[in-house]
Chains A and B, each alone.
Chain A
Amino acid sequence: MPYGPHTADDRARMLETIGIASIDELFDDIPVALRASRLDLPGPVPELELAAQLQALADRNRTDLASFLGAGVYRHYTPAAVDQLLLRGEWYTAYTPYQPEVSQGTLQSIYEYQSLLAELVGLDVVSASHYDGAAATAEAALMTCRQTRRTRVLISRAIHRHYRETTRTYFAGGELDLEEIPLVADGPAAGTTDLAALGRLLAEPDRPVAGVIAGQPNALGLLEPMGAIGEAAHGAGALFVAVVEPVSLAVLEPPGRYGADIAAGEGQPLGIPPQYGGPYLGILAATEPLVRQIPGRLVGMTTDVDGRRAFVMTMRAREQDIRRERAASNICTNQALLALAASIYLATVGPHGLRDVAALGAARAAELEAALAAVGAPRLHAGPYLNEFVVRVPDAPAVHRRLLGRGVLAGLVLAEAEPDDPSLADGLLVCATEVTTPAEIAHFATALREELAR
Chain B
Amino acid sequence: MSVTGPRLQPTLFEMSRPGRGGGKIPHPPKDALERIPVAARRASPPALPELSEPEVVRHYVNLSQLNHAVDTGFYPLGSCTMKFNPKLNEWAARLPGFADLHPLAPDELAQGTLQLLWELEEALAEISGMRAVTLQPAAGAQGELTGILMVRAYHRGRGDLERTEVLVPDSSHGTNPATASMAGFRTITIPSARDGGVDVDAFRAALGPRTAAVMITNPSTLGLFESRIGELLEEVHAAGALAYMDGANLNAILGRFKPGAAGFDVMHFNVHKTFSTPHGGGGPGAGPVGVGETLEPFLPSPRVLREADGRYRLERPGERPTTIGRLRSFVGNTGVLVRAYAYIRAHGGSGLREVSDDAVLAANYLKVRLGGVFDVPFERHCKHEFVASAASLKKETGIRTLDIAKRLIDFGYHPPTIYFPLIVEEAMLIEPTETETLETLDAFVETLIAIAAEARADPDVIHEAPHTTPVRRLDEATAARQPNLRWRTAAGAETPCPD
Question: Does A153 belong to the interface (CB within 8 Å)?
Answer: no
The contact sample of 21 A-B pairs, CB cut-off 8 A, is A4-B435, A26-B360, A27-B360, A36-B258, A60-B97, A61-B110, A65-B109, A89-B69, A93-B84, A104-B8, A276-B98, A276-B113, A278-B333, A304-B474, A314-B479, A320-B174, A320-B175, A324-B178, A347-B48, A351-B47, A356-B27
- Please give me the residue from chain A that is nearest to B85 by CB atom: A93
Interchain CB contact (< 8 A) of B138 among A99, A278, A319, A322? A278
Question: Does A149 belong to the interface (CB within 8 Å)?
Answer: no
The 8 A CB mask of A211-231 against B (1 = contact, 0 = none) is 000001000000100110000
The 8 A CB mask of A91-127 against B (1 = contact, 0 = none) is 1111111111111111011111011101110001110
Interchain CB contact (< 8 A) of A112 among B12, B37, B174? B12
Per DSSP, chain B at the interface is loop
Minimal beta-carbon separation of B4 from chain A (angstroms): 6
A315 and B483 form a contact (CB under 8 A): yes
B4 and A301 form a contact (CB under 8 A): no
A419 and B318 form a contact (CB under 8 A): yes
Question: Does B1 belong to the interface (CB within 8 Å)?
Answer: yes
Minimal beta-carbon separation of B199 from chain A (angstroms): 17
The 8 A CB mask of A16-43 against B (1 = contact, 0 = none) is 0111000101111111011111111111
B344 — which chain A residues lie within 8 A by C-beta? 41
Question: Does B152 belong to the interface (CB within 8 Å)?
Answer: yes
B25 and A105 form a contact (CB under 8 A): no
- Please give me the residue from chain A that is nearest to B57 by CB atom: A81
B208 — which chain A residues lie within 8 A by C-beta? none
Question: Does A174 belong to the interface (CB within 8 Å)?
Answer: yes
- Please give me the residue from chain A that is nearest to B177 by CB atom: A325
* A237→B460 CA distance, assembly (Å): 56
| Chain B interface residue bracket vs A | 35 or more
A323 and B174 form a contact (CB under 8 A): yes
Question: Does B472 belong to the interface (CB within 8 Å)?
Answer: yes
A39 and B358 form a contact (CB under 8 A): no
Interchain CB contact (< 8 A) of B101 among A11, A19, A61, A357? A61
Number of interface residues of A (CB under 8 A): 205
Question: Does A173 belong to the interface (CB within 8 Å)?
Answer: yes
Interchain CB contact (< 8 A) of A251 among B42, B83, B327, B489? B42
Do A320 and B28 form a contact, CB below 8 Å, given A101-B469, A254-B46, A353-B22? no
Do A301 and B479 form a contact, CB below 8 Å, given A274-B103, A277-B331? yes
The 8 A CB mask of B325-350 against A (1 = contact, 0 = none) is 11111111111101000101111111
Which of chain A's residues 241-282 have a Cβ closer than 8 Å to chain B?
249-254, 257, 266, 273-280
The 8 A CB mask of B66-82 against A (1 = contact, 0 = none) is 11111110010100101
Stretch from B121-129, B236-244, B288-296 forming part of the interface with A: B121-129
Question: Does A51 belong to the interface (CB within 8 Å)?
Answer: yes
Question: Does A196 belong to the interface (CB within 8 Å)?
Answer: no
B66 — which chain A residues lie within 8 A by C-beta? 102-105, 108
B142 and A384 form a contact (CB under 8 A): no
B326 — which chain A residues lie within 8 A by C-beta? 134, 162, 165-166, 169
Of listed B82, B88, B102, residue having the most chain A CB within 10 A:
B102
* A9→B419 CA distance, assembly (Å): 35
Minimal beta-carbon separation of B271 from chain A (angstroms): 11
B473 and A90 form a contact (CB under 8 A): no
B113 and A61 form a contact (CB under 8 A): yes
B317 and A61 form a contact (CB under 8 A): no
B409 and A115 form a contact (CB under 8 A): no
A169 and B325 form a contact (CB under 8 A): yes
8 A-B pairs with least C-beta separation: A89-B71, A337-B280, A58-B97, A60-B112, A277-B330, A279-B284, A39-B349, A336-B282
B329 and A330 form a contact (CB under 8 A): no
Question: Does B283 belong to the interface (CB within 8 Å)?
Answer: yes
* A321→B86 CA distance, assembly (Å): 29
Of listed B139, B276, B475, residue having the most chain A CB within 10 A:
B139
B98 and A163 form a contact (CB under 8 A): no
Question: Does B149 belong to the interface (CB within 8 Å)?
Answer: yes
Do A351 and B45 form a contact, CB below 8 Å, given A331-B141, A434-B26? yes
Which of chain B's residues 250-277 have a Cβ closer than 8 Å to chain A?
253-258, 261-262, 270, 272, 276
- Please give me the residue from chain B that is nearest to A163 by CB atom: B329
Interchain CB contact (< 8 A) of B59 among A39, A95, A347? A347
Interchain CB contact (< 8 A) of A314 among B20, B63, B113, B480? B480
B108 — which chain A residues lie within 8 A by C-beta? 62, 404
B181 and A327 form a contact (CB under 8 A): yes
* A390→B262 CA distance, assembly (Å): 52
B26 and A173 form a contact (CB under 8 A): no
B187 and A324 form a contact (CB under 8 A): yes
B348 and A42 form a contact (CB under 8 A): yes
A276 and B102 form a contact (CB under 8 A): yes
Question: Does A206 belong to the interface (CB within 8 Å)?
Answer: no
* A332→B79 CA distance, assembly (Å): 13
Question: Does A359 belong to the interface (CB within 8 Å)?
Answer: yes
Do A44 and B67 form a contact, CB below 8 Å, given A124-B486, A277-B330, A312-B474? no
B178 and A329 form a contact (CB under 8 A): yes
Question: Does A205 belong to the interface (CB within 8 Å)?
Answer: no
B36 and A91 form a contact (CB under 8 A): no
Which of chain B's residues 152-197 have a Cβ closer than 8 Å to chain A?
152, 173-175, 177-187
Stretch from A179-187, A291-299, A372-380, A438-446 forming part of the interface with B: A291-299
Question: Does B104 belong to the interface (CB within 8 Å)?
Answer: yes
Do A41 and B126 form a contact, CB below 8 Å, given A35-B256, A309-B8? yes
Interchain CB contact (< 8 A) of B145 among A25, A316, A330, A344? A330
B364 and A29 form a contact (CB under 8 A): no
A38 and B104 form a contact (CB under 8 A): no
B486 — which chain A residues lie within 8 A by C-beta? 111, 114-115, 118, 124-126
B282 and A333 form a contact (CB under 8 A): yes
B67 and A90 form a contact (CB under 8 A): yes
A250 and B473 form a contact (CB under 8 A): no
Minimal beta-carbon separation of A8 from chain B (angstroms): 12
Do A351 and B50 form a contact, CB below 8 Å, given A53-B345, A321-B173? yes
* A119→B490 CA distance, assembly (Å): 12
Stretch from B222-230, B392-400, B449-457 forming part of the interface with A: B222-230
B60 and A253 form a contact (CB under 8 A): no
Interchain CB contact (< 8 A) of A25 among B139, B281, B381, B472? B381
The 8 A CB mask of A340-351 against B (1 = contact, 0 = none) is 100110111111
- Please give me the residue from chain A that is nearest to B357 by CB atom: A23
B123 — which chain A residues lie within 8 A by C-beta? 41
